[in-house]
């Protein structure tokens, strides 16, 4: 999957936190679905945000506070993605071979 760092930079600065989180969650879902179409990513707003990544009978949930979201969004255009992918790896997800530059931006 491909991405454009220039455009993502504008999004990270111009979107409010919740909108940016939904955008990033959608991007994560599209990458996961390149590996397995059964993946689904959902963002649930509670006191904090819960990002739920499901694939058939497996679910990985991570909690992102508004403060953490704001901090990651301000840090760099891909810091939130990096945080989510790191949490997914810690939860047992294996990052597979990929095409495109999206995960290169995230993992560098």
Exposure of 19 by Cβ count < 10 A (0-12 exposed, 13-18 middle, 19+ buried)? exposed
Place of tokens 């599209």: 30
Please list the pLDDT of the chain residue by residue as tens digits (108 residues).
767 778 989 999 999 999 999 999 999 999 999 999 999 999 999 999 999 999 999 999 999 999 999 999 999 999 999 999 999 999 999 988 777 888 887 887
Residue 2 confidence (pLDDT): 66
Residue 104 confidence (pLDDT): 82
Q: Is residue 18 part of a domain?
A: yes
Q: Is residue 105 part of a domain?
A: no
Total structural domains within the chain: 1
Q: Is residue 99 part of a domain?
A: no
Q: Is residue 11 part of a domain?
A: yes
Q: Is residue 51 part of a domain?
A: yes
Q: Is residue 101 part of a domain?
A: no
Q: Is residue 87 part of a domain?
A: yes
In angstroms, rounded to a whole number, what is the distance separating the alpha carbons of residues 100 and 75? 23
Which helix (DSSP H) or strand (DSSP E) does residue 88 occupy?
helix 79-90
Domain that holds residue 15: 5-94
């Amino acid at each position: 999957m491909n991405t454009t760092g220039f455009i993502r930079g504008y999004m990270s600065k111009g979107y409010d936190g919740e909108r940016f989180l939904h955008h990033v969650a959608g991007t994560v879902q599209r990458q996961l679905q390149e590996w397995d179409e059964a993946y689904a990513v959902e963002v649930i707003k509670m006191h904090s945000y819960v990002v739920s990544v499901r694939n058939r009978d497996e679910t990985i949930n991570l909690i992102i506070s508004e403060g953490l979201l704001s901090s990651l969004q301000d840090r760099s255009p891909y810091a939130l993605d990096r945080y989510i992918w790191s949490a997914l790896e810690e939860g047992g997800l294996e990052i597979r071979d990929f095409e495109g530059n999206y995960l290169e931006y995230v993992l560098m």
